[in-house]
Structure 1
């Protein structure tokens, strides 16, 4: 008989919450704030993450190094990139995330009969603010910041650390996330069942990652899809 699920891990970004303004919008505002004609797009910023994530200890420093590196690649003064990064941070520091539909209700419901944790690819300071902003920080017994406390997802190590902290087993744990590549693949590599939040996206038939459960909304979590008999 399969072991009942008593522990649930969550991703944060685009699972529990989303940004009110996109990175592209924030970058445009940052260039405008500095009076600089835009010379790169936000995808170039995201592509630089892996270059600097191992050598920086906060998202602000990571962003500054990314922007400086991009500026240099475009033949600009790296300090110009750092100035844009500072303006970007100023814009982002306003209350900038909102809960995804059903996320707070799902976390509250699950907290009554499950142990809850977070495994997120993101820096501690930024991710802690997001959980505070959406009002669910106190529901989680452990938060593992993959890429900082442990290797980034889909490496199984951050999931193993969460299990150890919660004294949980893989067979009794599910992980909820929106990314097939990092959440589903990482959870399954660690021996957990994966709950994929599709957000209306169809599962690619050629995908190597097939989740055990698929949800259109976190509201569906209140029905405990992995333990059908639980009311």
Structure 2
């Protein structure tokens, strides 16, 4: 029996139904900012720098950079609120995932290890009604490093002691998991059905 079964959030538990570009364009337009390709690039580059550096409020930094570049009077905080709403609405949870999580919880402790600010990432679980499915959630901002660094996995071990850990995620997540001593299960969207595979293995 698996003692702790851990999942990446984005792209595994929660799937995108809209692209970043689509969402950003809608957010800019909603706040009177012309959604040009140049401004999208500015927002993305600002976010990437802040996110990779684990700087506070990377989404606000992104919106503020776009507002400044556009010489707009838009409110970056209001734009972040819209971005959050649109981002959450542009995701979905496969029904197979919900069914599997309900069954897996009977035999294993369940956890999420995810890259991003805790409030933003936990908000996705709340939005989809999944928060009560998990015994622990570790965000990379909690641990001071993004995957594939081992820090998020070590933090999970502190919060949720277990004899064995399994990590389901993309290549970077499972690389960090493997280095931390977790059993890795790599998920590829074009591969075999993830939830059927997990049900069969566990």
Interval of TM-score (by shorter of Structure 1 and Structure 2): 0.7 to 0.9
User: What does residue 6 of structure 2 align with?
Assistant: 9
Please, which moves more after superposition, 140-149 or 40-49? Answer: 40-49
Structure 1 residues 183 and 107, CA gap change in structure 2 (3 angstroms): same
Contact 1:23 1:42 in 2 (8 A): no
Residue 164 of structure 1: how far off its partner (Å): 2.2
Q: Return the TM-score normalized by structure 1.
A: 0.73
Cα deviation code 1:112-166 (max 9, x no counterpart): 1111111111222222221122222112111111133431111101101112222
Corresponding position of 1:188: 178
Structure 2 partner of 1:199: 189
Q: Is it true that 1:98 corresponds to 2:82 in the alignment?
A: no
Contact 2:148 2:175 in 1 (8 A): yes
User: 1:3-55 CA deviation, whole Å, 9 max, x = no partner?
Assistant: x5321111111110124432211111122223332233646544433422323
Local SS of the residue matching 1:66: helix
* Contact 2:33–2:74 (CA under 8 A) maintained in structure 1: no
| Normalised TM-score (structure 2) | 0.82
Partners of 1:85 and 1:199 in 2: CA distance = 34
CA distance in 1, matches of 2:74, 2:49: 16
Larger Rg: 1
> 2:167 is matched with which residue: 169, 175, 184?
175
Q: Write the distance in 2 (CA, Å) between the matches of 1:220 and 1:70.
A: 43
**Residue segments in structure 2 that go unaligned for 5+ positions in a row:** none
> Which one of 136, 142, 152 corresponds to residue 130 of structure 2?
136
Separation in structure 2 between the aligned mates of residue 128 and residue 32 of structure 1, nearest angstrom:
27
Q: Any gaps of 5 or more consecutive residues in structure 1?
A: 202-214
Q: Which has the higher helix share?
A: 2
Provide the C-alpha distance between the structure 1 equivalents of 2:175 and 2:129, rounded to a whole number of angstroms.
28
* Matches of 1:128 and 1:216, distance apart in 2: 25
1:106 is displaced (CA, Å) by: 1.6
Q: Deviations over 1:83-118 (max 9, x none)?
A: 467336325425513203411112111111111111
Query: Does 2:197 align with 1:220?
Result: yes
Please state whether the residue corresponding to 1:87 is helix, strand or coil. helix
When residues 49 and 31 of structure 1 are mapped into structure 2, their CA distance, relative to the original with a 3 A threshold, is closer
Q: How many equivalent residue pairs?
A: 197
